[in-house]
Amino acid sequence: MKTETLGRFLAARLFLSMRSYSLMLSAPGPETVIDGVSYLYFGGTGYLGLATHPEVVEAGCDALRKYGVHSATSRGRFGTNPPVLEVERRAAEFFGTEDAFYFGSGYAGNHILVSATADRMEAVLLDESSHYCVQEAARLPGVPVITFRHGDPEDLRRVAAPWGRVLVMADAVGPSDGGTAPVTEYLEVLKTREQAVLLLDDAHGFGVLGPDGRGLLDELGLWPQVNGGESADSDSPVRLAVCGTLAKALGGFGGVIPGTAAFVEKARSSSHYFDGSSAPASAVAGSTAKALELVIRQPELRQRLQENITRLRGGLRDLGLNPPPGRTAHFGVALEKAETMRGIYEALKSKGILLPYIAAYSGIPPQGILRFAVFADHMPEQIDHLLSELRSLL
Ligand SMILES: Cc1ncc(COP(=O)(O)O)c(C=O)c1O
């Protein structure tokens, strides 16, 4: 190691020894360098494995050279540059919608959607285990926020009973456990309301679930009804709204709301993310547009991801570890005791495999979980290696 590199490495180690988090020293992928050690990595969210794709990286560099770091003004005036528009065009193509709104972070998506849909709502009904960004956005309308039990349509019915117009908010896919919301049952419960919006954050479903990779609502055959789309039952008082991120499966960065032209226009104009915040950075937009193009052009990416998901989930079932049902690329397995899971995490780590043990996050049980994530670019033998090491520990 050169002296300068060694110096930087030691400085990073010293800095880290004072912190509770780790330092990722390479791009995320099947092999990821963390705190100076290269691991076979089953963490995070880069499900389609595009973060280091040469075309994605080059498109980011190209946008940076052409447009500078950012437009230095909001999109409402002069701040919309071609890479940002290209993301919106590609996102609309991927999601099969008339338009899409692209903004700096998926975290803001619920905020934007609440602003666009919560007019005259009497109450917000919130799944108790929702992601932090859903919980925070739920307070925006300034009406009572009532929680219902996680994923429980009957409890939703109970809390909805006294109200007329309600906004219901939940994760479509749990960020840690990979559980999916019982959307069809929620719609059934809500159809007797005077008016209702079911607002779902599908950060982890976009790019993974459904025949066209458009997320949980695509998997459930409800995609045509989303974000201004036609409801199958035109008398239904329930509207479906969804937001997500391009920073997980879809290999880019930033939040996205696809929908009809009218709906997306409303999303752009109901809050001030469009005219009061910088457009997403040029390099990030350039890379994100290219990643979307690749996902559209190469359906085999999603196919490979699904094969890996099947392999990992099946292998875990054979070990008696029972991953939750579903076809998500990430999921949590909770064993009875935190010490057992921490022990598995440490033992795997000592063998060069990083499988995160998550002690606390929105929606996970008190003892924590082992959180599995699998990518399209994991090799089958890498998955088998994880399974075989796990077998030796159980
Ligand atoms: C359910 C959910 N929504 C939103 C986000 C935030 O998305 P982004 O990282 O694009 O801000 C996350 C990220 O962890 C998430 O899990």
Residues 6+ apart with CB under 8 A from 50: 56, 250, 251, 252, 291, 294, 295, 301
- Residue 194 C-alpha to ligand 1 middle, in angstroms? 31
Strand partners, 125: 146, 168
Residues 6+ apart with CB under 8 A from 388: none
Residues within 6 Å of ligand 1 by CB = 105-107, 131, 133, 171, 175, 201, 203, 245, 247, 255
- Residue 185 C-alpha to ligand 1 middle, in angstroms? 25
Answer whether 165's CB lies under 8 Å from 122's CB.
yes
Answer whether 202's CB lies under 8 Å from 172's CB.
yes
CATH class name, domain 57-297: alpha beta
Residue type, 218: D
- Residue 166 C-alpha to ligand 1 middle, in angstroms? 24
User: Which residue in 248, 229, 393, 380 sits closest to 311, CA to CA?
Assistant: 380
How far apart CA 388 and CA 394 sit, in angstroms, is: 10
Residue type, 74: S
CA-nearest residue, atom 14 of ligand 1: 175
**Is the predicted pLDDT of residue 114 greater than 90, yes or no?**
yes
User: Domain ranges in the chain?
Assistant: 3-52+299-393, 57-297
Model confidence over 119-151: pLDDT tens digits?
889 999 999 999 999 999 999 999 999 999 999
User: Which residue in 190, 234, 226 sits closest to 117, CA to CA?
Assistant: 226
**Is the predicted pLDDT of residue 10 greater than 60, yes or no?**
no
Model confidence over 60-110: pLDDT tens digits?
999 999 999 999 999 988 999 999 999 999 999 999 999 999 999 999 999
What tokens does 32 get? 């990821």
- Answer yes or no: same fold for 3-52+299-393 and 57-297: no
- Residue 8 C-alpha to ligand 1 middle, in angstroms? 31
- Residue 140 C-alpha to ligand 1 middle, in angstroms? 18
**Is the predicted pLDDT of residue 351 greater than 60, yes or no?**
yes
pTM: 0.93
Q: Which run of H or of E encompasses 294?
A: helix 282-297
CA-nearest residue, atom 4 of ligand 1: 107
Model confidence over 200-249: pLDDT tens digits?
999 999 999 999 999 999 999 999 999 999 876 767 889 999 999 999 99
**Is the predicted pLDDT of residue 32 greater than 80, yes or no?**
yes
Range scoring the smallest mean pLDDT among 5-19, 114-128, 379-393: 5-19
The yes/no answer on whether domain 3-52+299-393 falls in CATH 3.90.1150.10 is yes
